Each structure stands twice: as C-alpha cells, then as structure tokens.
Structure 1
Amino acid sequence: MSTIFPFSAIVGQAQLRTALMLCAVDPSIGGVLIRGDKGTAKSTAARALAAVLPPVARVPGCAFNCAPDHRAEPCDICRDGTPQASDVPFVTLPLGATEDRVLGSLDIASALQGGARAFQPGLLASAHRGLLYIDEVNLLADHLVDVLLDVAAMGVNSVQREGLSISHPARFTLVGTMNLEEGDLRPQLLDRFGLMVEVAAPRDKAERAEVVRRRIGFEADPAGFAAKWHDEQEALRARLAAAQRLLPDVRLDDAMLDLISHLCCEFDVASLRADIVLHKTSRALAALDGRQEVTPADLRTAAQLVLPHRRRRKPFEQPGLDQDRLDDLLRQAAQPPQRAEGGDGDAQDENDGDAGAGHEEEQVFAAAASGQAPRIDVAAGAAYGAAGRRSAAAQAPRGQAVRAVPDEQPTSIAIGATLRSAALRGGDLRVTRADLHQQVRAGTSANLILFVVDASGSMAAQSRMAALKGAVLDLLTDAYQRRDHVAVVAFRGQGAELLLAPTRSVDLAEQGLRELPTGGRTPLPHALQLVLETLQRTDAAALPPLLVLLTDGRANVALAEGGDPWREALALAEQLAARRVPALVIDTENGYLRLGRAAQLATALGADCLTLEELSADSLALTVRTRLAGA
C-alpha cells in the first residue's frame, strides 16, 4: 500500500472524505458517486480509502472472498481452509470490460484439458465484501450498467451461460467518479449510489500550494512520504474499526425517523431508497463520532450527501439542495408544537419570496412548456459506433448474442459453439482453428444529433422562440434517453456560431439554449456552411450524424458579397444531401402569410418537414429514413 497516496494526507475535500469513511463504517449505504472537474483528487481519494479500511477475514486463495460463516456455493477453497486477516478487496472495473470478465464465465483451460465444466469467477466475485471502483462511471457501456443494477439489487451474481448455472454472493461498495462534461448517469444507476459528493479544486492559494507540495513529495519518494503519515493512517484505521463495532448500538428514535420522511417529502424525493439510506447514513455519522444517539446535526450532514442526486425530476434539472430550506425544516422540527404554526407561516413566506424572486429573473424567451418528448427513430441500421440506443447496429462488439458463425480469426470467441464443434469429431477434445466460431451480437449505437437553431429577429414574432426552445428541449430529452452525442449551431445577426461542440453532455446543450439571445438578421447559409465544416471534423463511422434544422427559412445574409442568400442555402442543402446525412426540418413559420421556405429547404436536404405544432404533439414518433451509404 506504500505506493498509494495516504488518505490522511489529502488536503481539504472534507465532505468527500466523510462520505468515503461513512461507506467504510456501513457498506450497506450503497457507495459514493464523486462528481467534479478534472484534477480534483476524485480517483486519489477513492483509491486511498482501501489502505485505511480494517481488514476482513477470508481464506487465502478464495476467489469469491467468502465470509467465514457464509461460503459461496461454488467455492471449494473455503471448505478446508483457515480464515486469516486480509486487506479489503479493491477492484477496478475497466470501461471496456466484457460481460464475461465482469460476471464470470466458463473456465476454458479446465474445459480443454478434461472436458469438465468449471466456473471462472469474474470481477464481481473479486469485489465481494470490498470496493468496486469505476473511473468515469458515466461512460460505462449500457450492458455493464444493466449487470451492475441487477447484482446491486439482489446482492447475488447469477450466471447462466455455456451450460453453467452458478450463483454467488456479490455485495460490494460501489465507488464511481465522473466529470459532468462527459454526460450524466442513467437515473437507475444514479439512485444506486447511496451518497453523492460534488468536488472542486480549492480556491484558497495556500491550500492549493499545500496540495502541490504534498503531491510532489509523494511522487519523489512514495515510501518515505507514506511513512510520515503512518501514525495518522493507523489512527484513522482504528477509528473506522471502532465505528464499525459501535454501529449496531447506535439509536435513531421514531421522532428522528419521522423527520427523515418529512425531509424526503418536502424535497420531493421519489425514491424510498433515500429514506433508507438517510437512516443508515445518520447512524454511521454518529458511530464515526463515537456516539450512540443520532442528532439533528447528523441528519443535516447526511441529507447533504443523500438527497441532492435523488431530487432530479427531468434530465436537465441539476442536482442540488437548498441549504436554507433544509435549515428551516430542521429548525421547525425542533420547535415545540405550539410554535409550529408560526414556523410554517414563516416557511411559507420564505417559499413565496423564493418563487417571487424566480419570476423577477425574467428571460426574454424562456422555453415554452410542452408535453411528452417526441421520439425520433432512425429507420436503417448503421455501422457500429459509440454505444447508444437510437440506431440498430450490426456486428456490434457488445450487446445480445444472436448467433455464432465459423470464423478462424474471431474477435469474440463463441465458447459454446467452438467446444461443441470440437466435441462433434469424437475422441480427445482438441480445439483446432477450424472449430473456432465468432459470436455475432446485435447492439445499438449512438448518433450525433446536430441541432441548428434559427435565433434571428423573425423568431421573436408571436413568441415563436419560446416554442422553438421548448421543442428543442423535448428533442434533447430524447437524445438524453438514447445516450446520443449532441452539438448545437445557432445563427443570428451576421453569422453562425457553434454554440456547443459535439458532446455527450445534453445538460450543457440545454444551458446554452436557455441563454441563447434572439435578434438580428437570418444568416441561414452561414449556418449550413458551419454544419458542413463540423461534420467534416466528425467521424461519421463512429457517430452517424442526424441533422435537426429549426428555421422559417427566410435567409437574408449571403456568404459572398452580393450573393443570393436563398440560393446559397439551397446549394449547401444539396451538398449535405450528397453526403447522405439524414435530416429533419422543423418549420417555425406561423401565421396566415407563409412563404414555405422551410419545406423547400427540406426537399433540397431530402428530409422530412414538420411544423412546430406537429412536433409538440405528445404522440409524435417520427421515423427518419437514413440516406447513409449502404443503408
């Protein structure tokens, strides 16, 4: 452990350190999600925790990390072995891991040597009773997220494949780090993290200097640096062990439990898991502090870790907790019954004041409220690119196995089919190259949804910009659910701007659209030219593009001096059509006098054209016919 930065030497990040220690005291809390910018000690803190955890008892050589009183069914090592004190398992789950590596699979060596079916444990077995660490967890492929959700819910990993039927315990503390710029987590996995911490680099120059000083000292002499912090590490390990022993004796009375439920209701938390985790976290805080009674202060600290990421109602609502309101609710709960009415009145006044303040911050064109998010389907499958859920992809490296085909140079061996081919020849089981089979998987890939938004002055008429923003936000919801990448081009005045370069963070796209001003002329050719340039810089094989253009088509700013802006726009649309880019045009024109320019532009693009009114229909499910090569 001497090569790991000492947990006690981490500068600042008090909330992060507390959250990690709470999960060490009570692993059933469910783990920690650490969100923050690059270079904020997220990974350092997660890895350092393992070095201060009290040891666990296990039999040396056991691949399932069985508890002495609960041996896994397929484990033979623990039958005759003697448990010894061992370090808590710390297992890293790589983003590119296969399902076989995570879940476990057929032991090929045993099968080839004697023909017996034996189980090769995976990463989930290794992480049992320990920490499962995922760096950049928001980039984890969907098929692995599904695996984690199933195992986290049951605490058991069940493997049914290649003729095997195995189950073993898999209870672990999930620790994940992520940078929000790379996109958010699926709500189901987000809720599985018991606690969430937002981290940021310190703003105090003395604190930043101390961070650098310690890091440089560690890199120069890791062993010597660790030795200087040995006493602090041992003291922390002893504190965690004492808290683990004290935890069963910590009391949380009914009044405090009622307050937990009250907080979850007041903060509009849908998941009942929040109440349970808040209960466990409050008790762990008391145990960590050496107390047997939970206090309101414990509950306040716990709420800051448990509730923020469970308050999200829509993909674009940022997690957070109103600290003043939390304090008010706790203060009201502490008041005698005869004063409760007055406290409620004060709270109501404050809430009314907050609501009034929100109305005062008027935006010229806020997004109009709309109904259910429209769904856009891409009709034909594309070559497999980034993992997603919109386009069907053939020959995907991940996904459901649909068949096995003979292949002497497979990239993904179909073990069952390969062994069956060898067995059919009879005699000794010998696998030759002629027996090898390729596993064919059916998956889905993401798209790059390129939104091109008309923000010219004509969009201000009859509040069309409000409707347009509402429509784009609905489409962004669809992109969020399909795990697409998005980019936003806005055009107004004398030119076009790449408001957001291609990214998986639809939150950033939503923020940019909400703040997008309206006014000026309509430089439509500039926007289409910028779209072409953006697509040239994008790998269409990795991210098949889908263009969504929202405009009334009234181009009046040319690219060339003296040029015709409308003819330029049509010519550029034909160039996009020649690139076989699937597209959708949303006609924002309304009123009695309509020029129909958007429909003409859609014809040049080879795209479908819808009005804003049609797009806002709750039942809309539009299929875009792809024009990709080979479709």
Structure 2
Amino acid sequence: MNFPFTAIVGQTQLKTALLMCAVDPSLGGVLIRGDKGSAKSTAARALTDILPLISRVPGCAFVCSPDIPSEHCPVCNGLDVMAVASPVPFITLPLGATEDRVVGTLDLQQALKGAERVFQPGLLAAAHRGILYIDEVNLLPDHLVDVLLDVAAMGVNSVQREGLSVTHPARFSLIGTMNLEEGDLRPQLLDRFGLMVEVAAPRDKTVRAEVVRRRIAFEADTAGYANSWQDSQHSLRGQLVAAQQLLPQVLMADALLALISHICCEFEVASLRADIVIYKAARTLAALAGRIQVTPEDIRTAAELALPHRRRRKPFEQPGLDQERLDELMQAALPPQHSTDDGEPDPNTPPPEADGLDAPQQVFAADPATAMATIKVDSPARHSASGKRNTALHATRGQVVRSVPDSQPSSLALAATLRSAVLRDGSDFHIQADDLHQQIRTGKTANLILFVVDASGSMAAQRRMAAVKGAVLALLTDAYQHRDQVAVIAFRGEAAYWLLPPTRSVELAEQQLQDLPTGGRTPLAHALHLALEAVGSRQGLPPLLVLLSDGKANVALQEGGDPWQESLALAHLCADSGLPALVLDTETGYLRLGKARQLAQALRADCLTLEELSAENLVLTIRGQLH
C-alpha cells in the first residue's frame, strides 16, 4: 500500500507537477531530481491512488481503449467484449530489464506448443494510457534509453524481430527520479520529460518532525492510516476528474502565447518542445484551478517547471532557472495591468546582474580550456558498465549482434534456439540442449578516470595552478560526455587525500577542484599509494590514471625513506598491475629537472606538458592492458 498523496508534507511544486501530468498525460511526464531520502519515489507512487479510473477490457495486455482496440489484441477484438473501470497502469521499468522484456518478444510458450508466432507484449504495452516509472533514470542503460526515445517520439512501439512484425500504441506519462550525484541524463531523454522538479529535504525542524511523525504512523498501522486520509484523497480525485473535463474548454489569449515564445527565446531554449509544454502546462494549471482562462501567473509557474532542464548550459554549469530574470521578462512583456508584481519597477534602477550573484569563493580560478581534450583507449574493454567511451565485446547489455550455440546460455537467443530445433526435426518438435543458443551483445562501456592532482608549493605561482585546473576541467568535460565515473586525489603538505570519491557527477568534481587550496610540500609517493589502493579495491570499471605533477617529491612514505625512489617504485607497481596512465608535466621555467618525464617512463605512460595539452584537437591516447 502506498503512502497517501495528500499526507505528503510540503513539496508543493512536486505535487503540483504530478497532478498536472494526471490531468494532461500529453505533457510528457515529470523528472524528479534531488537528494536521496527526499520522498521522490514516495510521491511518484502515491499518485496512482488518486488518479481517475480508466475504461479497459479485463485481461487486455495492451491496455487498449475500448473504442480503438489494437489490431494485435486478441481480447479486445474478441466477441462479447465488455469494458470496466480500472486503475491507471503504473509500470516500473527496472534498470536491469532486458530489451525483450521492455518492447515485447515472441511468446515462447505458444511457440513450443507448435502454434503460429504469437507476440508477447512487454512493459511498454503494459504502460499504455498510464505511467511508466523509472527510479534512478539517469542510470538507465543506453540501449533502453534509445528504445524509450523512439517510443516517446512516435507514441507507438514497433517490434521487428524473430519473424514478428507488430506495432501497437504506447502512450504514457514518463515519471523518473534521479540523484545528480550519480550523473546527469542524456540531453535527448531529458528533453522528453515535459516538466522537471528539484526537491530537497525540508530544513525547518518543525516540518521535518511532522514528516517523521506521519511516516511512523503509516508504518505502525498502514491500512488504518491510509483510511484516515480517504476523504482528502477522494476530494483530490474529484478535482482531477473535474480538471480533465474542463481542460478542453480552457482558452489562452494570443498575447500570452507570444509571451511564452519570448521567454523561451530570452532563456536561449533550443527545443521547440519547451514552448508547447509551457502552453499545455499553463492550460492544465488553469483547469486545476477551475478556470477557463489562462493567466500570466499560470505562464510563470509553467515556465518554472518546463525550462530549467531545457535551457542551454555548459557541462559543469549548475541547472536551474534565474527567478529574477524570469520576473523581469514577465514585467517587460506584459502591460501594467497584467503585471505579476504589486509594485512598479524603478526606471532609474538598473536590473540586477544574473552573473556573479552568490558566487562561491575560490582559491584560484581555472583557466578556460582552449580546446576539448579527448581520452582515447587503444585496447577494447570487456566490461558490463554502461557508458560511451569504449566498445565492449560480449557485453551483458546492449544490442544483440549474433547468436552462437551454447548448452548453458546466460541470455537465451529464442529465435536461433527454436530455428535449430525445427531444422533438426520438424515433424517431432522438441528442444534439446544442443539447440540452445547464446545472445552475443555489443555495447559501450565507461571508465573510472582517476585524477591525481599535485597541489603542493612546488607547483609554484598561482598562475600555474590556474592552468592546471583548466587542463583538468577539459578532461572532465570529456569524462562528462562519455558518462565516466571520475575521482580526484589531491596531495600537498604531508599526505594525499580524497578530494572527491568516485562518482558520476562531474559537476561535483569541478566544484571540489575549484575550491582546491595549494601550498606546502609534495607527498607524491603517498598519492601513488592511495591511487593503487583505490584501483585495487574497485572492481568493474576499467581505471585510467591521470597524474598532474612536476614530480618533485620531497615527503617519504616510510620513515627515513627516499621520497623520489619510493615514487618511482610505486610507479613501476602501477605499470606492472596494467594500470593505464597519463602524466601531465606541470614543471615551468627555463631549467627543468624532468622528474615528471622519468615518472612517466616508470608508469609506461605518455608525458605531456600543459602547453601540449592546450593544442587544438589533441587526442590523448592512454595505452595499457585493461583488466
């Protein structure tokens, strides 16, 4: 049983967005983004209990509209069909789901009985006219994202596989939750979400206490607590029914439609879908309020939900919408009687600058990268982690490229298995172990990019540290585009430490790097030792080590040890373990000792200067055997 929707404390914007999707499913759904433990999943699941019922035929796997049944639905196209009122489908798409389970496949049970080819509908068919829910949607494998993009664009699911040719409607509201610490979404999928809401746990102690109080009461007596909220739940469901009936009558003045386009242009939103979503969302807000006329305030609220994830931003720029800028656009575009502000702006007061407000204090700013640096791995990876950097052979996820005989397949190739059984003995059809086939998939994998950054005093002037940060930011941009995990180890003073543990959020890596202090001695051996420990303890993602230092080690790992010899010995250990590496020599001046180059030789790695890193169209090739 779900937690009652009306019992959720606060989260006004989130609840509004979910109710809007309930009134108008064509909005495209809502992306709920925020910290863990902020009731994202609770609110999404609670929505199902207040949704108005839909009409469907019992036993229909395609959730057909009784008036327009799918041509492939044996239930709705049968005789004596009678529809009943049923709950709206709420289908969860697991991250580990196979493509066959999502899009549908050959009904193996019917095939084994010798019947003609029968299509077994998948999750997309089950979600038709309902909600498709994806928890941690930013971790969804790329091959499933590609499927969702096709279906979301066309509103139908087309299956051409295993001798089947089936097309059926698949229109649903897409609701996804995600935590930015695990990385962002692909831009194409991000744009498919009509609305986006940022959520956070309440900071007011009274509100937090009420949240805990209600949750404890719900867990102590789930059924009793849910019954105590039935009146408010029923009332809200009635409001949704009324809004759905009123929506076709809602009108929008042409001046407000022009305002929508003006706002989208001023925020440099490329996708025209933003204009359409704001239009639909504003009408939906009016219907929820029981009005047939859209107001400027409806436009503003709709823009707050439809624009933050669509405006142009750089890879490390924080998402969000400048509220003051939005107020300015509303006031400038509308006549005074339509102003959303009670007071008139002072014409002698210049508008506040959007840039530089509440900017975090930085130790040294980073130089902008003059070119996009790209890391290329020259040996194919064989890992299951999803990403976009390397081609993975025999991947556990991805596109099926062929099938091979295998008596104990981990992923059964149905068509090849059945074909083998039929060809072996068509008159007496049965499957033997020799008929079984394994699916061979190909996909893309990610890497763990481990940045080891020298922040000691030997890095010299502030100007030099700014150049180092700019170089790392260029490499972080490359990691962002390839959906890698990144980690940052900094070393200065007497030891090395984690500046950022492994994460998919390169925004966090960039933020930590900007605040990195410098100065002190150079514990290079400590940093290499910590990097070796990190690589040894993490299995799954193939690691890449990027070391930025001038190599002037002067802090020993062992008491009485030689700092430089210890560093070389650890570099040899990294190379012997098969760890691919790249060294960026940060040494400056006319007379150079070349320590970083010697270190690169011990690591069996390329060594580049920061000047070379800034060269146009540079491709950094990291050589080594990936394990």
Contact 1:485–1:502 (8 Å) recurs in 2 = yes
2:555 maps to which residue?
Answer: 557
1:609 maps to which residue?
Answer: 607
Q: Relative to structure 1, is the Cα distance of residues 346 and 582 closer, same or farther in structure 2, using a 3 angstrom cutoff?
A: farther
| Identical residues among aligned pairs (%) | 68
How far did 1:312 drift? 4.5
1:33 maps to which residue?
Answer: 31
2:5 maps to which residue?
Answer: 7
- Cα RMSD of the aligned pairs, angstroms, is 2.0
How far did 1:450 drift? 0.4
1:167 maps to which residue?
Answer: 167
Contact 1:286–1:292 (8 Å) recurs in 2 = yes
* Larger helix proportion of the pair: 1
- Alignment deviations for residues 113-133 of structure 1 (CA, whole Å, 9 cap, x no partner): 124111000000000010000
How far did 1:356 drift? 6.4
Alignment of 1:94-493 (within 5 A): 94-335=94-335, 349-351=350-352, 353-355=353-355, 363-425=362-424, 426-461=426-461, 463-493=463-493
Contact 1:251–1:293 (8 Å) recurs in 2 = yes
How far did 1:168 drift? 0.7
Give secondary structure in 2 for the equivalent of 1:158: strand
1:543 maps to which residue?
Answer: 541
What 5-or-longer segments of structure 2 have no aligned partner? Answer: none
2:520 maps to which residue?
Answer: 520
Give secondary structure in 2 for the equivalent of 1:147: helix
How far did 1:621 drift? 2.0
Contact 1:459–1:465 (8 Å) recurs in 2 = yes
For 1:160 and 1:375, the matched residues in 2 are separated by 37
Give secondary structure in 2 for the equivalent of 1:486: strand
Contact 2:363–2:515 (8 Å) recurs in 1 = no
For 1:578 and 1:230, the matched residues in 2 are separated by 66
Contact 2:369–2:473 (8 Å) recurs in 1 = no
How far did 1:231 drift? 1.2
Give secondary structure in 2 for the equivalent of 1:398: coil
- Alignment deviations for residues 414-433 of structure 1 (CA, whole Å, 9 cap, x no partner): 11111111011221221111
Give secondary structure in 1 for the equivalent of 2:2: coil
Give secondary structure in 2 for the equivalent of 1:77: coil
How far did 1:522 drift? 1.9
Query: 392-401 or 297-306, which moves further after superposition?
Result: 392-401
For 2:192 and 2:356, the matched residues in 1 are separated by 35
How far did 1:584 drift? 0.8
TM-score normalised over the length of structure 2? 0.95
For 1:470 and 1:356, the matched residues in 2 are separated by 20
**Matched AA of 2:402:** R
For 1:588 and 1:613, the matched residues in 2 are separated by 9
Give secondary structure in 2 for the equivalent of 1:350: coil
How far did 1:589 drift? 2.3
What 5-or-longer segments of structure 1 have no aligned partner? Answer: none
How far did 1:180 drift? 1.6
Give secondary structure in 1 for the equivalent of 2:95: coil
1:71 maps to which residue?
Answer: 69
How far did 1:271 drift? 1.6
**Matched AA of 2:389:** R
For 1:156 and 1:618, the matched residues in 2 are separated by 44
How far did 1:89 drift? 0.6
Q: Relative to structure 1, is the Cα distance of residues 68 and 372 closer, same or farther in structure 2, using a 3 angstrom cutoff?
A: farther
**Matched AA of 1:19:** A
Q: Relative to structure 1, is the Cα distance of residues 626 and 346 closer, same or farther in structure 2, using a 3 angstrom cutoff?
A: farther
**Matched AA of 1:44:** T
Contact 2:486–2:509 (8 Å) recurs in 1 = yes
**Matched AA of 1:627:** Q
1:574 correspondence with 2:576: no
- Alignment deviations for residues 235-292 of structure 1 (CA, whole Å, 9 cap, x no partner): 1111001101111111111111111111112222222111111111111001100001
Contact 1:115–1:429 (8 Å) recurs in 2 = no
**Matched AA of 2:378:** A
TM-score normalised over the length of structure 1? 0.94
Equivalent residue in structure 2 for 1:588, among 583, 586, 589: 586
Give secondary structure in 1 for the equivalent of 2:113: helix
Query: 489-498 or 46-55, which moves further after superposition?
Result: 489-498
For 1:256 and 1:134, the matched residues in 2 are separated by 34
- Alignment deviations for residues 158-195 of structure 1 (CA, whole Å, 9 cap, x no partner): 11111111111111000111122222211211111111
Contact 2:583–2:605 (8 Å) recurs in 1 = yes
Query: 214-223 or 459-468, which moves further after superposition?
Result: 459-468
**Matched AA of 1:386:** A
How far did 1:112 drift? 1.0
Contact 1:137–1:176 (8 Å) recurs in 2 = yes
**Matched AA of 2:481:** Q
For 1:285 and 1:495, the matched residues in 2 are separated by 57
Give secondary structure in 1 for the equivalent of 2:556: coil
Contact 2:217–2:225 (8 Å) recurs in 1 = yes
Q: Relative to structure 1, is the Cα distance of residues 323 and 554 closer, same or farther in structure 2, using a 3 angstrom cutoff?
A: same
How far did 1:222 drift? 1.8
Give secondary structure in 2 for the equivalent of 1:184: coil
For 2:227 and 2:501, the matched residues in 1 are separated by 47
Contact 1:398–1:443 (8 Å) recurs in 2 = yes
Contact 2:363–2:514 (8 Å) recurs in 1 = no
For 2:354 and 2:245, the matched residues in 1 are separated by 45
Give secondary structure in 1 for the equivalent of 2:315: coil
What is the number of equivalent residue pairs in this alignment?
Answer: 619
How far did 1:365 drift? 2.0
Contact 1:312–1:319 (8 Å) recurs in 2 = no
- Alignment deviations for residues 35-92 of structure 1 (CA, whole Å, 9 cap, x no partner): 1222211111101111111111111111111112322221121123222211111000
